[in-house]
Structure 1
Amino acid sequence: MRVWIVFLLCLAGHAMAAPTEEEPMTEEPVYEVEEEVVVEDPVMEETEVGANPVQVDVGDFDEAIDIVEEDVEDNPCLNYHCKKGKVCELDEGNTPMCVCQDPSTCPPAEGEFEHNCGTDNKTYETSCHFFATKCALEGTKKGHKLHLDYIGPCKYIEPCMDNELKEFPMRMRDWLKNVLVTLYERDQDNDLLNEKQKLRVKKIYENEKRLQAGDHSLDLLALDFQKNYNMYIFPVHWQFGQLDQHPADGYLTHTELSPLRAPLIPMEHCTTRFFEECDTDADKYVALEEWAACFGLKEQDVDKDLII
């Protein structure tokens, strides 16, 4: 989804102004040269990084389906989709079914940027290795607790102090507003924002009082939120709607939050604590009302009709 591609580019470049499909390997043909058979090594196409959340959908971590070239036309697995960590296989009746992928069949990582850190504090070589491992643990207590924590190898994350936690939503609000403005500016093909969204963002974009993107002090961010409060209402609702997809039920699960959390944690050490404390009733779900309160919106300004 192009919204998330742009979103992640904004994330990496801007870093919140602080003071997530791989092609299968195909076999190369065998050539006979002077009675000597030369077999070229299989070539792995380079994985496109960041193609998805914030739709980084975590869905871009879906694994490829092995396809035998000569059976392409008759392979029922061709158009059969399996979720992350699973691949399609045919049963005895030639019916496609999804089975857990063997982690050993996952392509090796080409760099540290492909590593994933799980909530078990274990570094997985690639997202393929992580989701294949999680699939194998389905139905177990360990598997239920295992989630993608953040992108990159596991590392020490500094504890988030109380005063730092109060600062986090200031940068986050400003960042979300600037992400929307950037999407509006780049939306030449009309597929980054829908018409209703563009009308909302246009008002922000054309407002002469809008604080331009930059490395602003926390005092200035707090003052701008107070003076231009209405500019932040829609960005907060928009982000909730972008995450609330599977299913779109008005609640965010750990998995739905992952496309936003996973890239942020290595840069913003208060990310995990922030989202944990957003769940004020500790039911493992973040409702729209809880989300809005985390970003400082007033109760009367929470509006489900802004999820457009």
Structure 2
Amino acid sequence: MDRPTMRVWIIFLLCLAGQAFAASITEEQPILDEPVVEEEPIMEEDEVMPEGGANPVQVETGEFDEAIEIIEEDVNAENPCLNHHCKKGKVCEVDEENTPMCVCQDPTSCPASVGEFEHVCATDNTTYDSSCHFFAHKCSLEGTKKGHKLHLDYIGPCKFIEPCLDAELNEFPLRMRDWLKNVLVTLYERDEENNLLTEKQKLRVKKIYENEKRLQAGDHSLDLLAHDFEKNYNMYIFPVHWQFGQLDQHPIDGFLSHTELAPLRAPLIPMEHCTTRFFEQCDSDSDKYIALEEWAKCFGIKDQDVDKDLVI
């Protein structure tokens, strides 16, 4: 990946620091899919290769909160909906008894998108004007097989994603490890009074930042990245654990579900066509979740160096 793309990636993950938001993964990626609730038979969707482009930098926190619903008990007598929060795709309305309830949002009530960077591609190969439009449509299919399988796939209009070859798949973790290390270093450099990292995280990153042998950020060859990983292996252990901790949030249980993986996966797919296959491969036991041990192995971290205490 070239330097402009590298900067896009770092900027995006800067926005992600300390925040994990949820989304869903494509039907073609069963490793992170959830059990289907067979309630209403629906004809299967035709599978078509996507087209288009993407700009992941514009993603806002909470863009993918598909599976999170928070309902507070403190209800305002005059407007019960003030303190009643609904998940993406739903809005609050009151019934005849003035009781708040969540109902599917009308897609026409969503704000009009101001540019292609707000568009999203779903697993039905449809480009939606925004995540608001997508989740409103998904809500209308709630309780059906089609609705269960429909997920937000990636940021930007649908586009053709080239198949990932075996050789390319082997190269993917080389770049990814280097990105994670550089993202942490960038967060550390900008962390004065910004609370981008916790104190424990700062101590870990400080050791990497001050190490004179650290490979500086740049457009490096794959051979150099592979050599640096072998020579400075210890510098990569914490960044891999850190990213797992950033994603494992809903709930914090030591496993990554499809909703938790989305903040990393959805913006990355348009830039890295091996993203989907890489994360499929990570689920080595095919249980639809990626455990810390599986995650670490994907990035070449040795079994004896996997440490839950590093997920801080």
Percent of aligned positions that are identical: 76
- How far does the alpha carbon of each residue in 1:97-117 deviate from its partner, in whole angstroms, 9 at most, with x for none? 211111121122111111100
1:68-87 alignment, distance < 5 Å: 74-87=78-91
SS at match of 2:81: coil
The residue aligned with 1:160 is 164
| Structure 1 CA distance for aligned equivalents of residues 149 and 236 of structure 2 | 34
The residue aligned with 1:110 is 114
The residue aligned with 1:276 is 280
The residue aligned with 1:146 is 150
Q: TM-score, normalised by structure 2?
A: 0.78
**Structure 1 position 13, deviation (Å):** 10
The residue aligned with 1:127 is 131
| Structure 2 CA distance for aligned equivalents of residues 8 and 306 of structure 1 | 26
Cα gap change, 1:11 to 1:161, in 2 (>3 Å): farther
**Structure 1 position 12, deviation (Å):** 5.8
| Structure 1 CA distance for aligned equivalents of residues 102 and 219 of structure 2 | 48
Query: Is the contact made by 2:248 and 2:254 (CA closer than 8 Å) also made in structure 1?
Result: yes
Q: Which moved more, 1:107-116 or 1:223-232?
A: 107-116
AA at the equivalent of 1:58:
F
Q: Equivalent of 1:295, from 284, 299, 309?
A: 299
Cα gap change, 1:9 to 1:297, in 2 (>3 Å): closer
The residue aligned with 1:67 is none
How many residue pairs were aligned? 259
Cα gap change, 1:90 to 1:49, in 2 (>3 Å): farther
Cα gap change, 1:193 to 1:60, in 2 (>3 Å): farther
AA at the equivalent of 2:10:
C
- How far does the alpha carbon of each residue in 1:162-195 deviate from its partner, in whole angstroms, 9 at most, with x for none? 0000000000000000001111111122421111
| Structure 2 CA distance for aligned equivalents of residues 187 and 76 of structure 1 | 40
Q: Does 1:249 align with 2:249?
A: no
* Greater C-alpha radius of gyration: 1
- How far does the alpha carbon of each residue in 1:33-73 deviate from its partner, in whole angstroms, 9 at most, with x for none? xxxxxxxxxxxxxxx94332xxx7634999xxxxxxxxx99
Query: Is the contact made by 1:61 and 1:127 (CA closer than 8 Å) also made in structure 2?
Result: no
**Structure 1 position 80, deviation (Å):** 2.0
Which has the bigger relative contact order, CA under 8 A and spacing at least 6? 2
- How far does the alpha carbon of each residue in 1:150-169 deviate from its partner, in whole angstroms, 9 at most, with x for none? 10010100000000000000
Q: TM-score, normalised by structure 1?
A: 0.79
The residue aligned with 2:191 is 187
Cα gap change, 1:203 to 1:242, in 2 (>3 Å): same
**Structure 1 position 83, deviation (Å):** 1.1
AA at the equivalent of 1:297:
I
Query: Is the contact made by 1:121 and 1:154 (CA closer than 8 Å) also made in structure 2?
Result: yes
| Structure 2 CA distance for aligned equivalents of residues 104 and 13 of structure 1 | 32
- How far does the alpha carbon of each residue in 1:232-285 deviate from its partner, in whole angstroms, 9 at most, with x for none? 011001101111111111111111111101111111000011011111111211
| Structure 1 CA distance for aligned equivalents of residues 13 and 195 of structure 2 | 22
| Structure 1 CA distance for aligned equivalents of residues 273 and 112 of structure 2 | 28
| Structure 1 CA distance for aligned equivalents of residues 300 and 13 of structure 2 | 25
The residue aligned with 2:59 is 50
Q: Which stretches of structure 1, 4 residues or longer, exceed 4 Å deviation after superposition?
A: 11-14
Q: C-alpha root-mean-square deviation of aligned residues, in Å?
A: 2.5
Q: Which moved more, 1:281-290 or 1:210-219?
A: 281-290
